[in-house]
A = this chain, B = another copy of it.
């Protein structure tokens, strides 16, 4: 089958997205590293826990929400636990399972650093968007999420996680 290259419009959109995504993550990481001593993903872990019932979540559930691998999460939680911001507990119903729980200290750090984080997100993104654009953003990217993990990418095998070798 002959390749359908990107149209000029698509190319511009793609380049704009790729570049901005890099700059954005970079800005978030830098601000949070500076103010909270951790990268954005680690902050997201705390944030996600803080919104969960009992401020705790099983590792796999947390990994799924964050869209990261369990392995990556294991490493990150180990660091956060060493810093005293998260505590590991064992799951009562499933003895294999382990649960990450936000500590009081973790909650405190989160509360202290949340305003700066929100301000960064606004300064980098939302301050420049109209309300319509906010809607468009959600529309576009919830579709992407759908495509990449919701739907059945039957014809695009390399998009599946752990497609065994070949």
- Chain A residues engaging chain B, CB cutoff 8 angstroms: 3-6, 9-10, 12-14, 16-27, 30-31, 34-35, 44, 66-68, 114-116, 118-129, 131, 133-149, 153, 155-156, 158-159, 161, 166
* Contact (Cβ within 8 A) B16 A138: yes
Enumerate the 4 nearest inter-chain pairs by beta-carbon distance, A residue then B residue, closest first: A20-B141, A13-B138, A20-B144, A16-B141
CA distance A143 to B22 in the complex (A): 14
CA distance A152 to B139 in the complex (A): 30
What are the residues of chain B within 8 A of A134 when measuring CB–CB? 9-10, 13
Closest to A2 in B: B115
* Contact (Cβ within 8 A) B13 A148: no
* Contact (Cβ within 8 A) B159 A144: no
CB distance from A133 to the nearest CB of B (A): 6
* Contact (Cβ within 8 A) A121 B14: yes
CA distance A88 to B126 in the complex (A): 41
* Contact (Cβ within 8 A) B128 A3: no
Q: A20-B148, A23-B144 are in contact. Are A158 and B9 (CB under 8 A)?
A: no
Closest to A68 in B: B22
CA distance A161 to B158 in the complex (A): 36
Q: A133-B136, A145-B16 are in contact. Are A126 and B10 (CB under 8 A)?
A: yes
What are the residues of chain B within 8 A of A158 when measuring CB–CB? 27, 30-31, 34-35, 116, 120
CB distance from A155 to the nearest CB of B (A): 8
Q: A17-B141, A134-B13 are in contact. Are A118 and B4 (CB under 8 A)?
A: yes
* Contact (Cβ within 8 A) A124 B145: no
